Amino acid sequence: MPAVWASIALAGAGLAVSVYLLIEHFTGASSLACPESDVVNCQRVTTSEQATVLGIPWAAIGTAYFVAMLVLVLPPVWRLEDPRIRLLRVGLAAAGSVSVMYLVFVELFVVDAICLWCTAAHVAALGLFGLIAMLYARE
């Protein structure tokens, strides 16, 4: 059960960071507590052309993702024996990891900067995938 609580903590942390990034997206990213060096520059990342997909901010997608994951990792939902719920949890966690790989690629090779806040959300998503995959393998 500790892994379930860890998944709740990761989903909650990812949600908090994503909400913060979403607020910053709509307020001009002027208060991001992040260095503005050549390599680490949250403002450059969050205001880049790649910060949205089809007009939707990645921070909004991240917020929706972490809300869904938070619901799917709650203990009562874990206890449901519906295989569709298990598949949804694993599938969404995997989709989050694929998104992280894409976003890290974009940060490194397109925008040419790293966002520390984004990295925190990425770590939360990858951690969720790891925990869920481990728990799924045990079931």
pLDDT-derived band at 40, boundaries 50, 70, 90: confident
Q: What is the pLDDT of residues 99-138, one digit of tens each?
A: 999 999 999 999 999 999 999 999 999 999 999 999 888 7
Fold topology of 2-138: de novo design (two linked rop proteins) (1.20.1440)
pLDDT at 29: 58
Question: Using an 8 Å Cβ cutoff, are 85 and 69 in contact?
Answer: no
Question: Using an 8 Å Cβ cutoff, are 10 and 17 in contact?
Answer: no
In the predicted structure, residue 4 carries a pLDDT above the cut 80? yes
pLDDT-derived band at 41, boundaries 50, 70, 90: confident
User: What is the reported pTM?
Assistant: 0.91
Amino acid of residue 37: S
Range ranked top by mean pLDDT from 34-38, 47-51, 89-93, 134-138: 89-93
In the predicted structure, residue 32 carries a pLDDT above the cut 70? no
Q: What is the pLDDT of residues 60-99, one digit of tens each?
A: 999 999 999 999 999 999 889 899 999 999 999 999 999 9
Residues with Cβ within 8 Å of 87's Cβ and at least 6 positions away in sequence, in order, are: none
Structure token pair of residue 120? 């925190």
Residue 57: its H or E element: strand 56-57
pLDDT at 110: 95
